[in-house]
Structure 1
Amino acid sequence: MELGIGMFGDLQIGQSTQQRLQEIIEEVKLMDEVGLDFFGIGEHHRPDYAVSVPEIILAAASTVTKHIKLGSAVSVLSSSDPVKLYQSFATVDLLSNGRTELMAGRGSFIESFPLYGYNLQDYDELYEEKLELLLKINANQKISWEGKFRPALNNQEIFPRAVNDQLKIWVAIGGTPASVERAGRLGLPVIFAIIGGNPAQFKPLFEYYKAVYLQNGHDIAKFEVGVHMHSFFGEDSTETADYYYPLYSAQMDRVGRSRGWPPFQKNQFDLGRGKTGALIIGDANEAIDKILAAQEMFGLTRFSAHMDVGAPSHNEMMKSIEIFGTKIAPKIREALI
């Protein structure tokens, strides 16, 4: 099972975007040094996030890392041009010597749609069409294609090409059966975002994905499935939780106000940190137990710790990354041998 970190580039109140971007590059450099397998960065177009163009961050990170895989988490495919998206990620793949991935999602925030001139009423159609085009570009240097939302391509060559001519493309899923069916039918690796409740509730979706994947004749040897879960690690469980709760709850409330959620409560946080909750926030031993439990439950090939919700300080992020790489990851790898 690959172990890595996903981030959105959350900004502290009053923090400059410039400072946060520089911190992110330092954090990715440390992830590489402590032996984590991958890093993913999200795309947002809001004042509380620093990153609107993941591929720029990944290009910068490629110059200070040697081994870690670098990807988006996610690129909002619905409001992007698949041609430009492929070109950008192929460029980063060349810079990183073949370490780049692209994770396509529909986006849980909607700011990119009016920003780039798309109608939210076309939400589903946009994703379907653009995923089809992206996969065709990924598989073919020269393509002819016609759709509804962009000009047609007639015998058009797409350059540059990724290192092995094809990018690794993941899809991110929030939990809708239609998205699960699509990914399984296409044979694409999947990351499930599990950010609340009991993770066991997702088991039927994992089973459905695997069943559709096999029914469509895809090779089980290439089967890949992962989870993205809110995580933060410290030396002492109680101290870590006490530090993180005000930051985490404030960000959940900022997002929740735009979605009609009730205020985030301490008991939700505590339940989430419990044995059957979706939050992996505490010390190394707690994290090892919960990550291994998720791997056993779902048959995971990848675990992504979403580590910067609410913008913990750079120093605390660096500590959390170091604990993940030096104390948690080795024990998990040892247990899975």
Structure 2
Amino acid sequence: MKFLLSTLIVHAPHPITGEVTSTSRRFAQVVEKALLAEELGFDGFGVGERHERPFISSSPTVVLSHLAALTRTIRLFTTVTTLSLLDPVRAYEDYATLDHLSGGRLELIIGKGNGSAQRELFDVTPEDQWDRNAESYEVFRTIWRQDKVTVDTRFRPPLRDAEVWPRPLQQPVRVWHGSATSQASVDLAARYGDPLFSANVTHAIEPYAELIRYYRERWAHYGHDPARLAVGSGTAGYHARPNSQDAVKAWEPAYAGYLAMQNRLGTAPVFPTLEDYVERSSALIGSPQQVIEKVHRYHEAFGHSVVNILADPLGVPDDEQRASLELFQSQIAPVLRRDLPDPPWPWAPALAPEAPALASEAPALAPEAPVLAPEKPTEQELVP
């Protein structure tokens, strides 16, 4: 089993104190967390994409390019690239460039994205968002594989013998399809024989398990080799302590933030108490043994081989979170790596023929580049 650490770069007040860090400091925290993920031995680090409050992750390629210069071995994920909002030609240019800058460590998770504010910003409607997502992916996929592209399109000008540069380093790049609620993204993944990544955050296990079952059915329908099927899964949070009671106590501020979010949305919480949240949500909260048992329980339903852990549990102090992540790598990950399978392919990149055989042979990328300075907060932007 492989493990990712990822962030949507939420920029929101502390759930207890109401303190808001500066934008610069928030980006610095992302850099620090990516470096920590590589130091501790995580297999990947992901940066999401959102174009509305309270997120500042509108430019994941910029953030990931910076991380590519500061890291050496960890794979860099998009979690997720919102192709329903993007021009696929421009998205290809950005990600092919990032592919080279990272030495072939790029891996994409795509999805339509969510939220009415970002749909309005890009003039996308609920009625056409799935069609846009499918078309953008099909164009993006074709450009990645072909030097010249001719394709008719609905949502952007058609392409006629178009050449798009630079040509990529990986051939092809691996693309996962992020799935939260819709069979449309699941079917798109199965149609192209691509891996699926279940969001697995908002609800209990059942609706996500049902979508994964549907994915397996569609995978067989399209005639793909069952041995090549792969599923990843998100989590609603992570915090482990040697003593489970201490882990649950430390998660109280994060749970308070969850309740506040539900209140702002005007919806009843899916998990009305912290105890229910720890028991029925996908959050991995407790002792190492409890975390291991919960991942096993989800694996029985999902058959997944990759787990994504959120990098930013609001309200947990940095030193406590670091200790929790160290505990994950020392006592939890080794057991799960031993017990549960890896994805059915090499984790290293598939480089194009003219590229170096190994990512480590690519030119060194500024190892001395500075991490953003951890200055004290200067902005007090209250984010709802």
Please tell me whether residue 208 in structure 1 is matched to residue 214 in structure 2. yes
* Corresponding position of 1:37: 43
Q: CA deviation at 1:157?
A: 1.1
* Corresponding position of 1:272: 277
3-state DSSP of counterpart to 1:294: helix
Q: CA deviation at 1:299?
A: 1.4
Q: Which amino acid in 2 is paired with 1:303? A: V
| Aligned with 1:290 (options 280, 291, 294) | 294
Q: For 1:80 and 1:207, locate their aligned partners in 2 and report how far apart those are by CA, in whole Å.
A: 29
* Corresponding position of 1:332: 336
Q: CA deviation at 1:51?
A: 1.6
> Quick one: percent identity of the two aligned structures?
28
Structure 1 gaps of 5+ residues are none
Q: Which amino acid in 1 is paired with 2:7? A: M
3-state DSSP of counterpart to 2:251: helix
Give runs of aligned pairs for residues 120-159 of structure 1, distance below 5 A: 120-159=126-165
| Aligned with 2:261 (options 245, 254, 265) | 254
When residues 142 and 208 of structure 1 are mapped into structure 2, their CA distance, relative to the original with a 3 A threshold, is same
* Corresponding position of 1:24: 30
Contact persistence 1:30–1:321 (CA under 8 A): no
Q: CA deviation at 1:312?
A: 4.1
Q: Which amino acid in 2 is paired with 1:325? A: Q
When residues 146 and 69 of structure 1 are mapped into structure 2, their CA distance, relative to the original with a 3 A threshold, is same
Give runs of aligned pairs for residues 114-193 of structure 1, distance below 5 A: 114-193=120-199
Moved segments of 4+, more than 3 Å: 117-121, 263-266, 309-317
Q: CA deviation at 1:247?
A: 2.7
3-state DSSP of counterpart to 1:23: helix
| Aligned with 1:107 (options 100, 113, 125) | 113
Contact persistence 1:6–1:228 (CA under 8 A): no
Structure 2 gaps of 5+ residues are 14-19, 342-384
Q: CA deviation at 1:317?
A: 3.5
Q: CA RMSD in A?
A: 2.2
Q: For 2:124 and 2:214, locate their aligned partners in 1 and report how far apart those are by CA, in whole Å.
A: 32
1:212-263 deviation line (CA, Å, top 9, x unaligned): 11221223332111111112223232233223232333245336524x3125
Q: Which amino acid in 2 is paired with 1:102? A: L
3-state DSSP of counterpart to 2:149: strand
Contact persistence 1:225–1:301 (CA under 8 A): yes
1:22-63 deviation line (CA, Å, top 9, x unaligned): 111111111111111112111122342232111111111112
3-state DSSP of counterpart to 1:125: helix
Contact persistence 1:11–1:311 (CA under 8 A): no
| Aligned with 2:62 (options 56, 62, 67) | 56
Q: For 1:218 and 1:265, locate their aligned partners in 2 and report how far apart those are by CA, in whole Å.
A: 38
Contact persistence 1:144–1:153 (CA under 8 A): yes
Q: CA deviation at 1:171?
A: 0.7
Larger relative contact order (C-alpha < 8 A, sep ≥ 6)? 2
Q: CA deviation at 1:112?
A: 2.3
Q: CA deviation at 1:131?
A: 1.9
When residues 77 and 69 of structure 1 are mapped into structure 2, their CA distance, relative to the original with a 3 A threshold, is same
Q: For 2:323 and 2:95, locate their aligned partners in 1 and report how far apart those are by CA, in whole Å.
A: 30
1:70-91 deviation line (CA, Å, top 9, x unaligned): 1111111111111111221221
Q: For 2:208 and 2:261, locate their aligned partners in 1 and report how far apart those are by CA, in whole Å.
A: 26
3-state DSSP of counterpart to 1:195: coil
* Corresponding position of 1:2: 2
When residues 129 and 36 of structure 1 are mapped into structure 2, their CA distance, relative to the original with a 3 A threshold, is same
| Aligned with 1:79 (options 85, 88, 98) | 85
Q: For 1:162 and 1:316, locate their aligned partners in 2 and report how far apart those are by CA, in whole Å.
A: 40
When residues 234 and 252 of structure 1 are mapped into structure 2, their CA distance, relative to the original with a 3 A threshold, is same
Normalising to structure 1: TM-score of the pair?
0.90
Contact persistence 2:40–2:329 (CA under 8 A): yes
3-state DSSP of counterpart to 1:138: helix
Q: Which amino acid in 2 is paired with 1:6? A: S
When residues 222 and 252 of structure 1 are mapped into structure 2, their CA distance, relative to the original with a 3 A threshold, is farther
Contact persistence 2:236–2:281 (CA under 8 A): no
Q: Which moves more between the two structures, 147-156 or 311-320? A: 311-320
Q: CA deviation at 1:137?
A: 1.6
Normalising to structure 2: TM-score of the pair?
0.80
Please tell me whether residue 239 in structure 1 is matched to residue 239 in structure 2. no
Q: For 1:56 and 1:325, locate their aligned partners in 2 and report how far apart those are by CA, in whole Å.
A: 28
When residues 251 and 168 of structure 1 are mapped into structure 2, their CA distance, relative to the original with a 3 A threshold, is same
Q: Which moves more between the two structures, 57-66 or 112-121? A: 112-121
- Aligned residue pairs: how many? 334
